[in-house]
Structure 1
Amino acid sequence: MNSFIERLVTTRSFGFVARTVLTFMFWSSGLAKLLDFPTAMAEMQRFGLAPAAPVAILVIIVQLGGSALVIHGRYAWLGAGALGVFTALTIPIAHAFWTMSGEMAFLEMMFVFEHISVIGGLMVAAALCAPHRLKSVRPSSVGHLVRGA
C-alpha cells in the first residue's frame, strides 16, 4: 500500500472521521427526533408502533447511544451490533416493498438495499472492534482505525 495512504488511514483522526461518517444516518436521525419529539412520535404512529412516546425514546437511545459507542471506539462492537439490529428491524416495519407495487415498491426496495449495505459496514466495524481481536492487533496495523486506540 502507498505509504502516505497507509499512514493516513491508520491515524486516530481518520478513524474518528470514518466512524462518525459510518454512523451519520443514525446520530443525525436521533438528534432530529430528540429536537422535535412530537414529529418523532408521529413517525412511530405512522408505522403502527405504539405506544409512540416510549418507542420514540427507545429509538433515540439506540440511535444516539449506538452511534456514540461506535464513534468513541470503545465498545464499538456493541454499538455497531445495536445499530445493525435496529436497521434490520426497520426493513419490515418501514420499507416493506414486497407489499407495494410500481415506483413506490422500487424506491422502498432501494432503501432496503442501502440498509443491507449499512448493516454490512456495521458488521465490519464490529468485527474489527471485537474484544478478542483487540488483543491481537499490532499498533502499526489498521485495527485502531475502528476501535479508536
Structure 2
Amino acid sequence: MNSFVTSLTAKPLFGYIARILLTYMFWASGIAKIVDFPAAVGEMTHFGLNPPAAFAIATIVVQLAGSALIILDRYTWLGAGALGVFTALTIPVAHSFWTMDDPFRTIEFHVVMEHLTVIGGLMVVAWKSAR
C-alpha cells in the first residue's frame, strides 16, 4: 500500500488536482463574483466595506490570482500567503461569532475553525511547493 501511495502522490497530475481542490473555494467564489458582479457588490455592502465595488474587485483579484499561483505552482508562497491573509481577514469582517447569540454563535464558530484549517492547508502548500 505504501508504494502505491508514494507512486500516486509523486505524479504531477496528483499535485495539480490537489492544488485545484485546495483552491476551489477561492476560484469558484471569484468566478461567481465576476458572473454576478452586482451580488458581489451587495455582499461587500452587507459587510460594511466601502467603497463596495473596489472591495469586490480586490476580492476577485486576490481569489483568482492567488488560486492561479498555487495551481500553476509558480510563486506558490505568494498565492498561499495572499489567500491565507484574505481568509484570516474574513473572520472579523464576516464571521464575528463572539458578537452573536446561539445558535448562530456556534455555527459561525465552526466556520472560523474551518477557515483556520484552510489557512493551515495553505501554509502546508507554501512550505512544500517547488522553490
Q: Per-residue displacement from partner, 1:115-135 (whole Å, max 9, x unpaired)?
A: 0000000000111127xxx3x
- Residue in 2 aligned with 1:17? 17
TM-score under structure 1 normalisation? Answer: 0.86
Aligned with 1:23: secondary structure? helix
Aligned with 1:102: secondary structure? coil
Amino acid at match of 1:89: L
Q: Does 1:30 align with 2:30?
A: yes
Amino acid at match of 2:28: S
Q: Please, which runs of 5 or more residues in structure 2 have no aligned partner?
A: none
TM-score under structure 2 normalisation? Answer: 0.97
- Residue in 1 aligned with 2:7? 7
Matched residues in 2 for 1:3 and 1:40: separation? 46
Q: How many residues get paired?
A: 131
Q: CA RMSD in A?
A: 1.0
- Residue in 1 aligned with 2:126? 126
Q: Does 1:115 align with 2:115?
A: yes
Between Structure 1 and Structure 2, which shows a larger proportion of helix residues?
2
Q: Percent identity?
A: 59
- 4+ runs deviating over 2 angstroms: none
Tell me which structure has the larger Cα radius of gyration.
1
- Residue in 2 aligned with 1:67? 67
Matched residues in 1 for 2:2 and 2:121: separation? 24
